[in-house]
Structures are given as C-alpha cells and as structure tokens.
Amino acid sequence: MVWNPFSRKKSEDATSSQEKPSAPVLLEDIQQQQQPPTIPPSPTTAPEQSQLSAQTQEISRFLRNLSLDDFQFAKLVQIPCFRDAGLIGFSTFFVFSSVMFLYHKNFRKSINWGFGGLMLGSIFGWEQCNHFRKQSNMAVQMAQERFQERQHQKILEEQQNQGKK
C-alpha cells in the first residue's frame, strides 16, 4: 500500500476516533470578543488623523484604478529609466554568474550570485538614470527661467526706449 497525502481515508479515521469540535473557532469571532478599549481622540491628533485618512483614501483610489493591463511589457517599457535599469541589471546578472561559475564551478551558487547582481544592478541603474534625469530637468528649467528673464528685460528696455522718444 502506498501512502497518498491527498487521500482522506486515514485522516477521516483519525478524526472519527477523536472528539470533533462542535463548531470551528474563527479569528473573527475571537476579535469580536476581545476588542481593545477605545481611546478618545485628543485635539492634537485630529490633524494627524485627517492626514492619515487622506493618505488612505488616496491609496485606496490608486488600488481601485490598478489593473493587470498596467503591467504589460509595452507599458513597462514606457516608464522612464526602466529600460536602462533592466539592461544594467541583466548585464550584472551575466557578469556575476559567469565569474562565480568560472571560479567555483558551482552552477547553483553562480545563479544565486547572478540574481543578486540583477537586483543590485537594476537598483543602481534605476537610481543613476533618475539622478541624471533630475539634473537635466533642472538644467532645462534654469535655461527656461533665464530665457524668460532676458525676454522680460528686453521688453522693459524697449518700453523705456519708446518712452524716451
């Protein structure tokens, strides 16, 4: 006879010899019986609670709008820095796993190190790309502000020149 972990014959015999409980005890029943005492809100915690409730509402709104279509590959590639982070991550996966395999001759250890390199490389690539994007956005913003200032100065000079004539 072969033991089958999915058969119910032995488990039914074992439970029939023991006393069966009359009703299952659920966690919800226990929580209802043992409710902690409520603390009345103090006036100082009211703004904190309103901020917390606003955050929870925003999170719940975000989760309601989330769908499986948001995780399609075509949409993931449109995320800034996703491609760069992925390429750097897979490159470090290949390098770490190759070096560890050549050094230790242990495939399992090399794959573990490779996945560690994938995580490390992806995080590093993501942060590096975001850093450069922020720098370039700041440079563009500063250039736009300078251009607007120069345009404003030119307009003021023209108005002054017209006023003198």
Q: What is the DSSP string of the chain?
A: ----TT--HHHHHHHHHSPPPSSPPPHHHHHHHSPPPPPPPPTTTHHHHHHHHHHHHHHHHHHHH--GGGG-HHHHHTSTTHHHHHHHHHHHHHHHHHHHHHHH--HHHHHHHHHHHHHHHHHHHHHHHHHHHHHHHHHHHHHHHHHHHHHHHHHHHHHHHHHH-
* Residues 6 or more apart in contact with residue 79 via CB below 8 angstroms: none
What is 11-23 written as a DSSP string? HHHHHHHSPPPSS
Average pLDDT score, the chain? 79
| Cα–Cα distance, 164 to 158 (Å, whole number) | 10
Whole-number pLDDT of residue 29? 63
Residue 11 — pLDDT band, cuts 50, 70, 90?
very low
The answer to whether 76 touches 83, Cβ cutoff 8 Å, is no
pLDDT above 80 (res 47):
no
The answer to whether 118 touches 85, Cβ cutoff 8 Å, is no
Whole-number pLDDT of residue 129? 93
Which of residues 149 and 63 earns the better pLDDT score? 149
Rounded to an integer, the average pLDDT of 143-157 is 92
| Cα–Cα distance, 45 to 76 (Å, whole number) | 40
Q: Which tokens in the block code for residue 156?
A: 């003021």
